Chains A and B, each alone.
Chain A
Amino acid sequence: MDRAATLSGTRRRLRLATAIGALLALLGTYVVSTTTRADAAPGVNAIRVAEFPADCPYSHRLPDDPIIFPGLPGASHMHSFFGSTVTNAHTTLPDLVNSTSTCNPRVDTSSYWVPTLYRNDVPVEPTIVTFYYLGEGVRSDIVARTEPIPQGLRIVAGNARATSPDDGSIARWSCLHAGQVPPSKNFVTCPAGTMLESYLDFPQCWNGRDLDSPDHKSHMAYPVNQACPASHPVPVPKLRQVLRYPVSGDPSPLRLASGPGYTMHGDFFNAWPVAEMERRVRDCIRPVIKCGADGRPL
C-alpha cells in the first residue's frame, strides 16, 4: 500500500519533471526560433509544426455577406474583407477563383471577412492579417490523414449574435507584445506601443458532403476529445484567424459592426487552387512541417 503510494508518487513526480522538461524545451525552441508551437523533434531540421500561412492584408469594406445574405447587398452589418478583392453580396466560387487577391501567396484567392472594428465610429482596419492553416486540435494520427479543404467550402466561426461573453463566443482578444495582459472574450486594454489582436479558430471537422448548410454551421464541427465526431468525420486543416489592429489603450471607444467585442466572428469562402491546397496539406500538415507562404518548409 505504502510502497504503491510511493511508486505512484514517484511516477507523478517523474511525469511532472518530464512535463516541465518538455515545457522548457518547448519554450527554448520558441525563443530561439520565434515560432509558436515548436515541439521540436530531435534529428529533424524542419520545424515540427503542421502549419502553412496566408498573409492577407485588408482589401475593402461592404455591408455585404455572400454566405449569410447571398444576393442581398446592404443586408449585413459592415464587413472588412481580406484576400479576394472582388467579394460582394453576389460572389460565387468562380468569381473568387478568377479574382486577384491581397494574399501572400497570391494564389490564395479565398475570401475572408470579419465585422468592421470602429473606434469612436471611425473604421479601424487591422494592419497585420494572417490566416494560419494548422494541423492541431486532433490526435497526431488524425493530423497525418488531414484532407485538403474542398474548394468552395464556406465556414463561419464565432457568434455574431452573442448577447454576452459566455454566449458561445470563441474569439479571443489579446495584446501583441504584451503577454501580461490576459486574453479575454471582450476587448482588452493594451499598453501603449502594443497592438490589440484577435484570435479565432474555425471548426476543422467536415461532414464530407456539403460545402455549406442552411444554418451555415452544421456542415462543420469542432473536434471532440481530439477527434472528429462521426457526424463530421473528415479532418481538414484548422483555420486560425489572427488580426492585429493599430489600437492600444482604453477600449471603451471600440465596437464591432456586429456589437461588443465578444460578437467577433469570421467567415471563410475557400477558393485556393485545388493543387496548391493539396500540396500544402501533403508537404506541411500531414508530415507536421512548418511551411512559409509559398508552401515550402521553412
Chain B
Amino acid sequence: MRAGLAVPSALLATALLLAGCAAAGGSADPSDDRRAPAAASAPPGATTGTPVGGTTAGAFSATDVAWLQLTVAMAERLLPVLDLVPARTRDPAWRGLAAGVADTHRGELSRARRLLADSGAPATNPHEGHDMPGMATAEDLAALRVADGPAFERLVAGHLRAHLGQAVRVARAEQGAGTNPATIALAAAAVREGTAELARLDRLDRPARAP
C-alpha cells in the first residue's frame, strides 16, 4: 500500500499542501473549531455509564451529557420553525399545535440547560451549525419562510414529524442507558410529550408514508 498519491507531482503537491495546512491552523491552533476549552476532563475510561462529574444527586454519565447536549441543539433548531407558524397560516389547529409544541420545548430546553450546568460539561453547543437527524437545515428554514397556507403546513408537518420522531427515539435511549435520575426523568417527559404531540400531528396531517 502506498501512503501517498500515485505520481511524484502529486507527492509534491501533497507535501506543499500539508505544510500550508499546518501553517493555516492545523498546528497553530489545536481547537480548530469554535468550541471552548473543556471545563472538566473525563477520567480515563470514561464512556457509557461512567460518571463525568456533577454536583447534584446522581452523577452524570457520558450518555446523560450527550443526550442533554443533543436535546438542547435540537430544541434550538426547532423553535425558529415553530415561530414562523402564526405568520404563515391562519388555521387555528396548526397555530395551536405549534404553540403547544413550542411551550413544551421551551420548558425542556431550560431544564436541559440547567442539568448541563449541573453536570459541569462545557456550556457551548457542541452541535452548533451541524445538521443532525431530525433537524431542519438552513435551506429548510429558507423554504418555510417563502411558503404559506397548505404548502407551508405540509412542510411544517414534515419537519415536526422528523424532529419529534428523532427526539422520542433518543429520549427512549437515554431512559434506558442514562445514569442521572433528573436527566432520565426529563427524558421520560420528552418521550411522553413527544408521543402525544406526534399523535396530535397525525390527526392534523395524516402521514402518507414514513419520512
Contact = CB atoms under 8 A, between A and B. Distances in A.
Interface of A: 27, 30-31, 34-37, 49, 51, 53, 55, 63, 66, 68-77, 89-90, 92-93, 128, 130, 132, 134, 137, 152, 159-163, 167-168, 170, 172, 174, 176-180, 182-183, 199, 201, 203, 205, 209-215, 217-225, 229, 232, 240, 242, 258-259
A258 B21 CA distance: 22
A223 B21 CA distance: 12
Given A36-B2, A179-B13, A70 B48 contact: yes
Contacts of B3: 35-37, 49, 51, 53, 130, 132, 134, 240, 242
Given A27-B11, A76-B133, A209 B41 contact: yes
Pick the most buried of B36, B37, B47, B166: most chain A CB atoms within 10 A of its CB: B47
Pick the most buried of A68, A179, A258: most chain B CB atoms within 10 A of its CB: A179
A73 B130 contact: no
Contacts of B62: 70-71, 212
Contacts of A37: 3-4
B122 A90 contact: no
6 contacts: A75-B133, A89-B173, A179-B11, A183-B13, A199-B14, A225-B27
Interface of B: 1-11, 13-14, 17-18, 21-22, 25-28, 30-33, 35-49, 52, 61-63, 65-67, 70, 121-122, 126-133, 166, 169-170, 173-174, 176-178
Contacts of A199: 14
B11 A36 contact: yes
Contact of B35 (A76, A134, A217, A259): A217
Given A36-B3, A37-B3, A170-B21, A72 B63 contact: yes
B32 A152 contact: no
A201 B18 CA distance: 10
A259 B131 contact: yes
Contacts of B173: 71-75, 89
A165 B4 CA distance: 22
A211 B46 contact: yes
A168 B40 contact: no
A170 B35 CA distance: 16
Across the A-B interface, give the 3 residue pairs with the lowest CB-CB distance, nearest first: A179-B10, A71-B177, A71-B63
Given A70-B63, A179-B5, A213-B42, 17 more contacts: A27-B8, A30-B8, A31-B8, A35-B2, A71-B173, A71-B176, A75-B66, A75-B132, A75-B133, A168-B32, A172-B17, A176-B6, A179-B7, A183-B17, A210-B46, A218-B31, A258-B131
A207 to B, nearest CB: 8
A153 B125 CA distance: 23
B37 A218 contact: yes
A179 B43 CA distance: 44
B130 A258 contact: yes
